[in-house]
Amino acid sequence: MFLDEGGFSLLPLVRRTWAPAGETPILRRVGRHRQKVSAISAVTVSPRRRRLGLYYRFLPDRSAKAPDVIEFLRHLLRHIRGRVIVLWDPSNSHKALIVNAFLRKVSARLEVEWLPAYAPELNPDEHAADPPPRNPSPWSRVGRPRSNGPFF
């Protein structure tokens, strides 16, 4: 299982646009300043059935912290049978003391392998929240991450 956290800003994307000469276009938006949604997600690979799964949890208006990671792992262990291997990056929320204590407690079912800190191309879950391509190729498969990583 590949696990990662990410965030979404609810500010609109600013793109190049046309406006009359000398008039700067004004982009108006509705809502509070700097709204965001954090997400924790996991891509699972079933070794026997050759099936992929996607589990996720959204955290509105806050960042994912160590207790959120523990709660998400508990949820996954309730829904996934057998031994689970988690591959994740060494972010602060993954290395926290309370997460390490939880991992020791569930070590009979859960094993952790660390990915390199600056190698997002090794984690397919990094692409779970990617926006769709602006001009998708007619040859691209739906749901396939835009990466030349070793897993795809």
The tens-digit pLDDT sequence of the chain (152 residues) is: 888 888 877 776 666 777 788 888 776 766 666 678 888 888 888 877 778 888 889 888 888 899 999 999 999 999 888 889 888 888 888 889 999 999 999 999 999 988 887 776 777 767 666 665 565 555 444 444 444 433 33
Residue at token pair 């792992």: 73
pLDDT value of position 41: 87
Count of C-beta atoms within a 10 Å radius of residue 36: 14
Residue 54 identity (one-letter amino acid): L
Kind and range of the H or E run holding 101: helix 97-105
How high is the pLDDT of residue 145? 44
Q: What was the pLDDT predicted at 105?
A: 94
What pLDDT, on the 0 to 100 scale, is given for residue 32?
A: 60
According to the model, what pLDDT value does residue 30 have? 66
Residue 152 confidence (pLDDT): 33
Enumerate residues 6+ apart whose C-beta is below 8 A from 52: 43, 44, 45, 46
pLDDT at 77: 92
Which structural domains are found in the chain, ordered by start? 2-9+35-127 (3.30.420.10)
Q: Is the dihedral of CA 75, 77, 81, 85 positive or negative?
A: positive
The CA distance from 141 to 120, in Å, is 21
